[in-house]
Chain A
Amino acid sequence: NKMYCEVIKAPWSSNSGRAVVCNNWLFAVSSVCSSFCESKFNFKKCKELCLSFIQDAMLQKQWKRAAEFLTFYVESLEKDFSREPVGASEIIWRIGSEILRHHPDSSVKEFNTFIEPMKTLSVKRYLKVCLEHAFYLLHNGLIDEAYQNLSLAESWRFGEQTVIQDKELKLIQAYLGLLDYYKWSKQKNILLEHGKYLSVEQEMHSCFRKAAVNLKEIIKIPGVWDQFVKCYVDMLEFYGDHNEARQVLNEYAYNPKFPANPNAHVYLYQFLKRHGESKKSLISVLKILHDIVPSHELMIDFNTMLQKSKKRKRRRLGLEVIFTALDYAGCKENVKAWSCLARQMKQIKHLAWIKQEWNSRKDWWPAFHFSHYLAKKNWQENESLSYEKALVGGCVLSENHQQFGKKVKIVTSLAAFFEMLPKPSGVSG
């Protein structure tokens, strides 16, 4: 659920180094020189060395050892690291959190005890630490505690820092919105199960109002807010505000300021489908999805829709869609995809279309889909897949293209199909 990923450079020069990824956070460690000369090891170098021991231990999941070395590292806090891009307090916060997340003897109580001083150590980082703390609590299923923490953080004010940390504040509010939605959703279930209770309804409505305000705010900011959008739309649909919901989803999918996000189109498509929108609007949404993620599983539905269309253009598009989907490894073993293609190929009257599509693929599809090895494997593992593939393969692989002129006969004999496959050197089928 992390909305950001930071790359932080270590305070020392990273002219040579390993990079360690730790909980979305990357830091580079320069290999500390190995020398017997003690005078080379001043305070700073000793702490660098200590840090490298900590990181080694963490990479090997030796949490006790990491904790041990951390005890020797923490005195760095007393040294002013203000010139460094990443100071001791940040390092200690992140490493300490990581150790406490994984250490067998750790507990939520331990974590809470640890995190409080971390918040105060740096005013500039206050909200960020609060946010991470809330994530930890959520991860451990402590929703109420997380909510309390986030509320507290939301009310924090510290002069211009509040302005500087605006992003974190918005995130905090967004998560509060999400948790309000969660509460709302629980109330909703009670309502659906037990019927109307005034108190429940009122509470539900107040949750909705709080959630709506925060969620609406955050999805205004260009970004990837899938979960937030879904929750917001869910609430809007429940209260019947379809217009608002549609507007939100449209914004999310089509606003050019927002990063290209296939999910946005999926959500929009699902919404439109739910509300019985016209084929035209559905197709236009899926078309965009096809452009962004040609291998998406919805492409199969798309093809099915297009196949049935009366319009030539759409049927043509359907063929293109399904071929493109099968270009990707994701659909290789998708029986439905192959059966769609097979079905369409049987129905198609315009052989030129198939030739067009096959033209750019004839060099590599045989090895990609129709190798001897794959054929055997498919046959052993999944007969229906094998069957559908054989149908398609039979069409495209046949030497005599004249056959296309007639109605393509179903190749019932798989042996014949096998005959068409490029033989591996030496071994016969």
Chain B
Amino acid sequence: MDEVKVMDEQKRNASLNRPTERNTTQFIVTQLGGEQYGIDIKYISNIIRMSKITRVPKVPDYIKGVINVRGVVIPTLSLRLKMGLPEDEVTKRTRIIILTLEQHESIGVMVDEVKEVVTLDEEHIERIGYEKDEKERFLSGVGKADGKLISLLDITSVLSEIVDV
């Protein structure tokens, strides 16, 4: 019940009267290959278990196909392939994160695992400069939480490239 977890975290923060005035952002931490990636929670509308993906012919290989999320057909892409990592291996931990950037326009991204929600202060986020390699193109920065390093995904740049394709 990952969905519930996200909600609870948000609620708890709200009730603890934490953050908003301080510059904090919440991220969902996902596992992708050996690394952890954070996705800004404001883009996430849903996290679902792996479901049957219908392949669509003649599209780039990182687009895995389309899925049905509560009656809406949503295209799904593999973050691994998009970022140049080896093909996904579907396990029972595999999740599809539904991102919604604009009204009524959603896209699903496959990740190996969804770990937790972290709240990062602006001061714990290190922005990445102009020199980005293939993988770093999609990163907005690196966050530090409990001694771990989390690469923060720049979702808009991941998706904007897809729209152009």
Are A and B co-members of a single complex? no
A interface residues with partner B (beta carbon < 8 Å):
none
